[in-house]
Structure 1
C-alpha cells in the first residue's frame, strides 16, 4: 500500500525536519516543502514528532492516501512570545509598579500564563503538528 505525505512550505519550523513514525519506528524525515511517497505493508498508525511534542496518531486505511503534515502556528510562533511576557509581568508585580489593583491583575495574568504554558507542553503536546487527510 502506497501513501503520499506532503509538508507545505511553512514560515514556522522551516528549518526543522519532522520525523515521521509508522508503528512507533522512525521511517523518514520530512523537510519544509517536501513530499514523499511511502510503501506500507498494512494499515498502521502514523505520527510526526519534534522533541517531546508531535501529532496525534492517524491510522492509514487506503492505498494512495495523501496526508498533509504541518506545524501548529499558534504553538510554534506565538507561544514563545507569551512566555516572554512572564518576566515583564513579574517586574510589575514584585516592584509594586502601579499599585495594588495592578499587582493583583498582573498576578492573575501571570498565573494563567504559567498554567497555559504547562498545559501546552504536557497535555497538549500532541497538537504541535497536525496530520490531515487530503481528499
Structure 2
C-alpha cells in the first residue's frame, strides 16, 4: 500500500472550514486549518481531490511510484482573498446609474454591471474547481 502525507498550512481564509479529501470520489479524510494526515491507498493510480462546500480543486493523479508522496492542500489566494473585494465595485455602478441625464455614463454603468455579474456567475460555476489547490511536493 502506498502512503500519502497530506498537509494543510495555516490560512487566514477558510480557517473555519475543513477540506474534504476525496480519492476516486470517496471521502477518505478531512483536513482542518493547519492539520496533517497520512492516508493509505489501495490502488496505485488514483485521483485525489479536495472539496470545500460547493467548490473544490482539480483532480490530482497519484502516480504508481513506490515512494511515499507529500501533498499540500491549500486555498487559491486570489479567489479566496482578492475576489471578495470585487463586490465593492457594485456601489460604483450604482453611482454611474443615477448620475443624472448623461446616457453614455448610464450605458457604461450597465455594461460594467453585466460584466461583474457574468464574472461572479462564471467564478461560482465554471471555475468552481479552482478555489483549492492540491500540489505534490
TM-score (normalizing by structure 2): 0.87
Hey, what's the Cα distance between the residues in 2 that align with 1:98 and 1:40? 66
Which residue in the other structure is 1:19 paired with? Answer: 20
Note the residue ranges of structure 2 that are not aligned, 5 or more in a row.
Answer: none
Runs of 4+ in 1 over 4 A off after TM superposition: none
Equivalent runs, 1:118-129 vs 2, <5 Å = 118-129=121-132
Aligned residue pairs: how many? 133
Note the residue ranges of structure 1 that are not aligned, 5 or more in a row.
Answer: none
Q: Is the 8 A contact 2:97 2:110 kept in 1?
A: no
* Residue 46 (structure 1) aligned to one of 14, 36, 48: 48
Which residue in the other structure is 2:36 paired with? Answer: 35
Hey, what's the Cα distance between the residues in 2 that align with 1:39 and 1:11? 29
Which residue in the other structure is 2:9 paired with? Answer: 8
State whether structure 2 residue 79 is matched by structure 1 residue 75.
yes
Q: Is the 8 A contact 2:94 2:109 kept in 1?
A: no
RMSD (Å), alpha carbons: 1.7
